[in-house]
Chains A and B, each alone.
Chain A
Amino acid sequence: MSVKDLLIVEIAEGVAGPCCGLQFADLGARVIKIEPPAGDRTREWGPPVAEDDAAIFIHLNRGKESITLDLTQDDGRARLDAILAAADAVLAQNDPAEENLPDWSEVARRHPHLVVCEIDDLGPVGPHGGLPGSELTVQAMSGFTRYVGEAGGPPCRVGFEIAGMATAMHAYQAVAAGILSRNRTGEGQYVRVSALNSLLSMKTILLAVQTGGMDFWSGFHLNGPHWPADTGWHTKDGQVTFDFRHEQREEWVAFCERIGQGHLPNDPEYKDWRSTIYLGDRRFTHGEPYRKWFAQQTCADASALINELGGISVKFHDYGEMLAHPQVEHLDTLIDVPDEVEAGRRQIGFPFRYAGEPRRKEYGRAPRLGEHTAAVLEEFCNAKAGRSEATGTGRNR
Chain B
Amino acid sequence: MSGPLKGIRVLDASAGAVGPWAGTLLGMLGAHVIKMEGPQGDFIRNVMPPKRGLSATYISMNFNKSGLVLDLKNPQDRAEAHKLVETADIFIENFRPGVADRIGIGYGSLSAINPRLVYLSGSGFGQSGPMVKIGATDPHIQPFTGSCSVNGMPGGARQRWRWYGHFDCTTAMCIVEGALSALLERETTGRGKHVHVTMIEAAMALQRVRISEHLAGMTPQPMGSAVSYLVPDEAFATKDRPLAVTASSPREWRSLCKAIERPELADDPRFARNPDRLKNRDVLIPILKEVFSSRSAAWWLDRLQRAKVPAALFTSYDEYRHNVHYLENRMLTTFETPDWGTLTVGGVPWRFQKTPGEVRPGTPPGAKTEEIKALGWPAIGA
Contacts and interface: CB of A to CB of B under 8 A. Distances in A.
18 contacts: A3-B181, A5-B188, A128-B325, A134-B310, A148-B162, A154-B225, A170-B350, A181-B4, A181-B6, A206-B60, A225-B162, A229-B152, A230-B160, A231-B157, A315-B143, A316-B158, A331-B126, A355-B193
Interface centre among B182, B208, B355 (most CB of A within 10 A): B208
A36 to B, nearest CB: 10
Chain A: interface residue count, which band?
35 or more
B252 interface: yes
A307 interface: yes
Given A150-B153, A215-B49, 15 more contacts: A47-B278, A128-B305, A161-B209, A169-B176, A191-B350, A191-B353, A196-B326, A198-B349, A205-B60, A211-B343, A211-B344, A224-B162, A231-B148, A318-B146, A344-B215
A108 interface: yes
B74 interface: no
Interface stretch (B79-87, B95-103, B199-207, B370-378): B199-207
B51 interface: yes
B316 A225 contact: yes
Contacts of B224: 149, 154-157
Contact of B230 (A45, A58, A323): A45
Contacts of B327: 126
A205 B21 contact: yes
Contact of A148 (B52, B152, B184): B152
B206 A201 contact: no
A134 B234 CA distance: 10
Given A200-B326, A215-B49, A133 B185 contact: no
Contact of A317 (B49, B145, B166, B252): B145
A132 B310 contact: yes
A377 interface: no
Contacts of B174: 169, 351-352
Interface residues of B, number: 168
Contact of B162 (A230, A238, A351, A353): A230
A259 interface: no
Contact of B349 (A95, A159, A193, A330): A193
Q: Is the interface of B mostly helix, strand, loop or mixed?
A: mixed
A330 B146 contact: no
A343 interface: yes
Nearest to A143: B316
Interface stretch (A70-78, A172-180, A264-272): A172-180
A173 B29 contact: yes
B135 interface: yes
B69 interface: no
A111 interface: no
Interface centre among A59, A96, A134, A150 (most CB of B within 10 A): A134
A165 B313 CA distance: 22
Contacts of B331: 123, 194, 196-197, 200
A342 B47 CA distance: 48
A32 interface: no
Contacts of B134: 307, 312, 314
A129 interface: yes
Nearest to B341: A213
